[in-house]
Amino acid sequence: MQHFFIFYILLIFIILSLVMLASKLRIAYPIVLVLGGLALGLVPAMPAVQLNPEVVFIIFLPPLLYEAAWNTSWKELWRWRRVVSSFAVIIVLVTALIVALVSTRLIPGFGLALGFLLGAIVSPPDAVSASAILRNTKAPRRMLSIVEGESLLNDASSLIIFRFALIAVDSGHFVLHEAALSFVTVIAGGILCGVAIGLIYYVAYRFLPTTAHMDVVLSLTAPYVMYLAAESFHVSGVLAVVSGGLFLSSRSEEILNYRSRLESTNVWSMLGFVLNGLVFMLIGLALPDVVRQLGPVSLGKAIWYGLLISLLLIVSRILCTLGAAVFTVFISRYITTADNRPGWKAPLALGWAGMRGVVSLAAALSLPLALSNGRPFEERSLILFITFVVILVTLVFQGLTLPLLLRWLNLDDPDKMLSSREQEALIRKRIGARGLALLEGQHAAIVAGNEALQRLQAKLAADRDHDGKYDKEAHRAYQQVYFQLLQEKRRELHDINKDIRIDEDIIRKYLRILDLEEEENRSRFEDD
């Protein structure tokens, strides 16, 4: 047990070193971590790493999905809902079908059910990789929003297809209308389960006398409760976590106070970083052990299958995204679309941003060693190896070339967003004006006789800050008005967020600034 902990502590130090190297090289850290893990796995003295599917699914997947849902912009998700849903459902289904048809002809002994099983595993792109790469480039905001929104839903689509394909492999038969009905049931049940549990947490946050530490602990349990509850009812645990996370994040201002929001943000950002780092490192470390389990299939043939499937995935996704752009132009004659002239550049970039990662790994690892009739699942090792090759090829090759492709395409931002400086100037102006309106209107009489509030008024009006002496009673009045002013600023930020020109990341930045201001001032008040 002690050696186990020592190994993972050393692994975390290696992850930190590789992330710093990735930052120095200006390469997305998932790429460097996978390559670093692969290099470590080839070291003779390195212990073999065998990934338990339950560890990946239960320990890693729910919190990573929950963090992604919590940080997703509702505004952007709703704006691109049609594109996101088509990418997350239709393109996943088409990709799985293409892989199934080609693999049955390409790989000896592969039937249609096994082909769909492989297709379901490798069809969903990974959000962490694409987001890490796109955030280091000048990609349009809409591209990042679509990729992140797609990743929230495509995992559920692929895992549902995976579930039915595995049943078909195990039982030897497949009934289309029963599968279609079950598909709808699993999706609807997962969403309802997630929202229902989200409501329970909402009530707990809203009405129980919890502290900030309790709120953080509750947030850490939420994704696991949502996932396990949904899976116990045989519905989508992924959709339960996503829908529950979106429900709670949209009401975070109602259910969490400033301190809970600050502490939750810090804890979840750290947890997400560690979990993502471990997963991508373990992908590389586990590959040598997967190679040893290939069995009768030669390594050369297995690599050839993996490379062909990788090429098939890249080409099919690009064709699908370009086809979606053509369909958007056609359908925009009859309905209102967010962009009726998407062109070819943005769809091509979206098609290239199809790196595979955590979910594909988890699905492949969850394949059983033997089927229900006792027969060994002989194709498991080959499917697992192909999945590893697909992750390596798409993550490394597409990940390293995506910034080059974006520079070559030279995509314009069709949303014509304000620059970061312009957005911040507008936000400062409007929240300052709202604060001044409160001081000069509702609290004008108090301000007239309170030196501290007069200084605050001057700071808001001319962006100045003066230190000054004040007595305890004046300070109490100052605090009361000041905290109300902060709430007014938060309300104004929510109003500003309705403006499509404003990036929600900037809004969140200013909400965090307000939370820090409240933390600082409440600390002073408690010390008096």
Q: Is the pLDDT of residue 44 over 90?
A: no
Q: Is the pLDDT of residue 388 over 80?
A: yes
| Half-sphere exposure for 487 (CA within 13 Å, toward CB) | 9
Cβ neighbours of residue 68 under 8 Å, at least 6 residues apart? 127, 148, 151, 152, 242, 245
Asked whether 40 and 14 are in contact (CB, 8 A), the reply is yes
How much is the mean pLDDT over the chain? 82
Q: Is the pLDDT of residue 499 over 80?
A: yes
Share of the chain above pLDDT 90, in %: 17
Q: Which of 125-139, 174-188, 266-280 has the lowest average pLDDT? A: 174-188
- Summarize the confidence of residues 90-103 as an average pLDDT: 91
pLDDT (tens digit, 9 = 90+) per residue, 397-407?
A: 988 898 888 88
- Summarize the confidence of residues 139-165 as an average pLDDT: 81
Predicted confidence at residue 265, as pLDDT, reads 84
Domain spans, the chain: 2-409, 420-527
Helical spans, DSSP H, in 208-336: 212-232, 237-249, 252-255, 258-292, 299-331
Predicted confidence at residue 469, as pLDDT, reads 43
Spatial distance between the Cα atoms of 433 and 439, rounded to a whole number of angstroms: 10
Q: Is the pLDDT of residue 172 over 60?
A: yes
Q: Is the pLDDT of residue 99 over 90?
A: yes
Alpha-carbon distance values, 71 to 78, 250, 365 (Å): 14, 10, 28
Please return the burial class of 66, using the count of CB atoms within 10 Å of its CB with bins 0-12, 13-18 and 19+: buried
Predicted confidence at residue 468, as pLDDT, reads 38
- Summarize the confidence of residues 110-122 as an average pLDDT: 89
pTM for the full predicted model: 0.78
Identify the CATH class of 2-409: mainly alpha
Predicted confidence at residue 462, as pLDDT, reads 62
Predicted confidence at residue 1, as pLDDT, reads 59
Beta partners for residue 370, in sequence order: 376
- 316 band by pLDDT with thresholds 50, 70 and 90: very high
Predicted confidence at residue 276, as pLDDT, reads 82
- CA proximity to 508, closest of 33, 20, 76, 13: 76
Predicted confidence at residue 504, as pLDDT, reads 83
Share of the chain above pLDDT 70, in %: 89
Q: Is 463 helix (H, G, I), strand (E, B) or coil?
A: coil
**Using CA atoms in the order 500, 504, 510, 512, what is the torsion angle rounded to 10 degrees?**
160
Q: Is the pLDDT of residue 470 over 50?
A: no
Q: Is the pLDDT of residue 414 over 80?
A: no
Q: Is the pLDDT of residue 524 over 60?
A: no
Predicted confidence at residue 176, as pLDDT, reads 57
